[in-house]
Homo-oligomer: A and B are copies of this chain.
Amino acid sequence: MKYSTKQKRAILEYMKAYPDRCFTVRELIAESGLDVGEATVYRALSGFAADGEVKRYVSGDGGGALYQYASADESCESHFHLKCLSCGRLFHTECHVIDEMTKHVEEEHGFRVDNVHTTIYGYCRDCVEKGACKK
């Protein structure tokens, strides 16, 4: 990721416009209408993910990987990520209760939690109200 190119800028701009959405590589190409090769998108997203500009998920249902914009300046090491299993939105959450839980798990259970790689799954308020939650 040494050069800034037209394609990379276009991809990142498009994802930035939908910070709540996550895309598969196919969706990104189809929906953005960008004329960019698939391989280029994979290479660009890998680079962005390494730089922390996008976040990479592996969808539980076995489909392709999901990528979502994540502003680089926002420190994702200091907060948790809540991901809605219904609408797919990602919530960055600062929460002292979660911090305390993390601390407790490390001190009492001897397990050092990695906030960057941990995503808490569940259902957001909107989806629970809409009855999208199975339970």
| Chain A interface (Cβ < 8 Å from any Cβ of B) | 58-60, 62, 65, 82, 84-85, 91, 93, 95, 97-98, 100-101, 104-105, 108-114, 117-125, 128, 133, 135
Contacts and interface: CB of A to CB of B under 8 A. Distances in A.
Nearest to A133: B112
Number of copies: 2
* Main SS class of interface, A: mixed
A66 to B, nearest CB: 11
A122 B128 contact: no
A120 B109 CA distance: 13
A84 B105 CA distance: 13
A114 B82 CA distance: 10
19 contacts: A82-B105, A82-B111, A85-B114, A91-B109, A93-B105, A93-B109, A95-B105, A97-B101, A97-B104, A97-B105, A97-B108, A98-B101, A100-B101, A105-B122, A111-B124, A113-B120, A114-B123, A118-B121, A118-B122
